[in-house]
Amino acid sequence: MSRAKTDVGRAGEFLAAYILETHDIEVHHVDRAGADLWCKVRGSIITVQVKSSTVPIPTNERSFLYYTYATRNPVADWYCFVALDRELLLMRPAVMVVAKTTRIAPSEFNAVNQTRTIEEMVESC
């Protein structure tokens, strides 16, 4: 993996940790065995794989823009998709992410969806 991709990934991990901590979730950066973060929620440990993107890109000839993330072989409990340019994230249970590539429309990254998906993660515990 290139240095630039590593830096983008690391920035996403730190932004995700910060945002999750503002929602009273205890976060530990681990970068171990396919999990980037361990989150303590209601006494349970949840493993989180963080995927980061800097900007949406066109994915077809119609030039629809999407944030694009490689989502192969999930080993964590949850995915955290980060849009660095918007400084927002979305959480999704790993069992619901079945494609090798996940595309998310820019309009999905907003404060309401961010809070809703974090609350869904908390409620899963």
| pLDDT at site 31 | 73
Q: What CA dihedral angle connects 42, 87, 10 and 102, to 10 degrees?
A: 80
What's the mean per-residue pLDDT of the chain?
Answer: 92
| pLDDT at site 75 | 85
| pLDDT at site 79 | 96
Please give the residue range of the domain that contains residue 94.
3-123
Whether the CA torsion 16, 113, 75, 22 is positive or negative: it is positive
CA 121 to chain centre: 12
Please enumerate in sequence order all residues whose Cβ is within 8 A of that of 63, keeping only pairs 6 or more positions apart, or say none: none
Residue 38 is which amino acid? Answer: W
Asked whether 81 and 67 are in contact (CB, 8 A), the reply is yes
Taking the model in full, what pTM does it have? 0.93
**Domain of 114: which CATH number?**
3.40.1350.10
| pLDDT at site 5 | 72
| pLDDT at site 1 | 59
pLDDT along the chain (125 residues), means of 10: 77 97 95 86 94 90 87 89 98 94 96 98 94
| pLDDT at site 61 | 67
Report pLDDT digits (tens) over 111-125.
999 999 999 999 998
Provide the number of structural domains found in the chain: 1
